[in-house]
Structure 1
Amino acid sequence: MNISSLLSMISGLALAGGSAYVAKDYIEGQAVTGSPEGPALVEVVVASQDIAFGTALTAQSLTTISWPAEARPAGTFTSFDTLLPDTGKPPRRARRAIAQGELIRVSKVSNFGEKVTIVQTLKPDHRAMAIKVSAETAVGGFVTPGDSVDVLLTQGRGAGLKTVTILQNVRVIGVDQDANQETDQPGVARTVTVEVTPDEGQRLALAQRAGTLSLTLRNQEAAAEEVPLESISLNDVLRNVQVQQPEPAAEPARRTVLIRRGTEVSETEIR
């Protein structure tokens, strides 16, 4: 290979390398210039672990995550300063169960030192009322806070015994002294506290004095509307269905003749 050919090859390689470098810078510049800026982010406070109803908020139970500032939900917190108390001061508490990773919002936590009770979980214009129950009347102890039940009244004696459903789709807010809706362990209770309207509370109070109350557990995914139900009596349960017994078939008439042989008389059937 002569010197001129070698110089030509080196010049070509240098030109190609320079072109590639310029093209790379141009493409990267276009990408940076043309890419839109990301949304502005803000730090919001979330639960770092499950927080049960009534539990005090602590630094260990809270953390922060980045959230688009424009999409930040109302009532959220951006720092621990407004959530955690000063040294020696009473804490804020969870007004309802808060799951891990859930946003901490004003409606879910109490004020500093505020008492947290099941009253704060009631719907507007509703009341909390306790019912005396046993293992037999409370679905064997499988009723837990957060469940929905129907309330049945049984009264009377003997053949006059009857049962009627007086309330449907009633929310259970407490079992004995437990109002934690995360509870899933059954247990035999003596009282169950339910959420009722004032009118339902009056009916429930009368029903407790009139007879025995029983609870039936509803499917959480079932329709919530009430279905009219009539009362049922013991006679309805024990009603005997009369079954007509077929009459026996009549025997066909027999044809016979009498045969006399001297003093002896015999009867013979004619077939």
Structure 2
Amino acid sequence: MNISSLLSMISGLALAGGSAYVAKDYMDGQHAARITAGPELVEVVVASQDIAFGAAITAQSLTTIAWPAEARPGGTFTAYDTLLPETGKPPRRARRAIAQGELIRASRISKFGEKVTIVQTLRPDHRAMAIKVSAETAVGGFVTPGDRVDILLTQGRGNDLKTVTILQNSRVVGVDQDANEESETPGVARTVTVEVTPEQGQRLALAQRAGTLSLTLRTLDAPAEEVPLESIGLGDVLRNLPPADAAVPVRKTVLIRRGTEVTETEIR
């Protein structure tokens, strides 16, 4: 092999090695760029402050944050123009209380100019029904919208007095004129509005005319299913109490002193 052929072979190997190195460096750079760039982001609209139930959606109550495009939930918004009204037009309103930083969803806001009432908070085939209450029958005024309660009916007089639980796990949708579930201030109400089915509404209407209704607050983790409860009468309560004339006998004793010794003897 002559010297020119050897030089040509060495040049070819060097060129091939350099090309491979450049290609590898380029591919490594592209991979690093993809890792640095991360997922594609999109701007989504969120609440910049707490928005109460029924409050108007305004520019001051909105802001945007970056959100992964592939993980964007349905019913969210990427611009203000579909949320804010034209000049002089009625606004959209919150159908539910919206917390600061929460995504604005179509299901939680009204259409432009749509009236917002507790109707929007009801489940399908349910009704809202108000019952009269007082501080004594409404847990001292600690019932607020969003709470779950049992409803008890007390009727009769004297020994015929009875109490029965007529509804369990009913959702409170309003207290007087307040339907805001974010309300935390208790107060003495005159009416409490609960969510009922048509059949439950009939039972509740009859119960209001038959006697006194009382509410009992349920815990947040109480089971949703109803537990069958029998009515209880005054006799059932008194049966577990000692008779009024079953007085505890008085123990009578005398002290007998003999010098420095004192003894106690019971008199029978």
TM-score range relative to shorter protein: 0.7 to 0.9
Q: Which residue of 1 aligns with 2:147?
A: 147
Give 1:27 shift. 11
Give the Cα–Cα distance (whole angstroms) in 1 for the partners of residues 135 and 189 of structure 2: 7
Q: Which residue of 2 aligns with 1:171?
A: 171
Q: Which residue of 2 aligns with 1:107?
A: 107
- Cα deviation, 1:224-252, whole Å, max 9, x if unaligned, reads 221111111011111255799xxxxxxxx
Give 1:34 shift. 2.1
Give the Cα–Cα distance (whole angstroms) in 1 for the partners of residues 185 and 44 of structure 2: 34
Return the index of the structure with the highest Cα Rg: 1
Give the Cα–Cα distance (whole angstroms) in 2 for the partners of residues 104 and 229 of structure 1: 43
- AA paired with 2:30? T
Distance 1:100-1:31 versus aligned 2 partners, 3 A rule: farther
Give 1:182 shift. 0.6
Q: Which residue of 1 aligns with 2:15?
A: none
Give 1:26 shift. 11
Q: Which residue of 2 aligns with 1:216?
A: 216
Q: Tell whether 2:47 aligns with 1:47.
A: yes
Give 1:28 shift. 8.6
Q: Which residue of 2 aligns with 1:267?
A: none
- Cα deviation, 1:90-135, whole Å, max 9, x if unaligned, reads 0000000111111101101000000000000000000000000000
Give the Cα–Cα distance (whole angstroms) in 1 for the partners of residues 71 and 109 of structure 2: 21
Give the Cα–Cα distance (whole angstroms) in 1 for the partners of residues 76 and 25 of structure 2: 39
Q: Which residue of 2 aligns with 1:32?
A: 29
Q: How many residues align?
A: 221
TM-score (norm 1): 0.77
**SS of aligned partner of 1:116:** coil
Give the Cα–Cα distance (whole angstroms) in 1 for the partners of residues 31 and 166 of structure 2: 68
Give the Cα–Cα distance (whole angstroms) in 2 for the partners of residues 97 and 27 of structure 1: 55
- Cα deviation, 1:138-180, whole Å, max 9, x if unaligned, reads 0000000000000000000000000000000000000000000
Distance 1:102-1:28 versus aligned 2 partners, 3 A rule: farther
**SS of aligned partner of 1:120:** helix
Aligned alpha-carbon RMSD (Å): 2.1
Q: Which residue of 1 aligns with 2:201?
A: 201
Matches within 5 A, 1:1-271: 32-35=29-32, 36=34, 37-239=37-239, 240=241
Give the Cα–Cα distance (whole angstroms) in 2 for the partners of residues 130 and 101 of structure 1: 34
- AA paired with 1:109? I
- AA paired with 1:70? E
Tell me the percent identity: 78
User: What residue ranges of structure 1 are gaps of 5+ in the alignment?
Assistant: 1-24, 245-271
Give 1:32 shift. 2.8
Give the Cα–Cα distance (whole angstroms) in 2 for the partners of residues 204 and 136 of structure 1: 19
User: What residue ranges of structure 2 are gaps of 5+ in the alignment?
Assistant: 1-21, 247-268
Give the Cα–Cα distance (whole angstroms) in 2 for the partners of residues 178 and 222 of structure 1: 24
Give the Cα–Cα distance (whole angstroms) in 1 for the partners of residues 130 and 55 of structure 2: 23
- AA paired with 2:47? A
Give the Cα–Cα distance (whole angstroms) in 2 for the partners of residues 100 and 241 of structure 1: 58
- Which contiguous aligned blocks of 4+ residues in structure 1 show a shift greater than 4 angstroms? 25-31, 240-244
Give 1:33 shift. 2.4
**SS of aligned partner of 1:204:** helix
TM-score (norm 2): 0.78
Give the Cα–Cα distance (whole angstroms) in 1 for the partners of residues 47 and 158 of structure 2: 57
Give the Cα–Cα distance (whole angstroms) in 2 for the partners of residues 237 and 41 of structure 1: 66
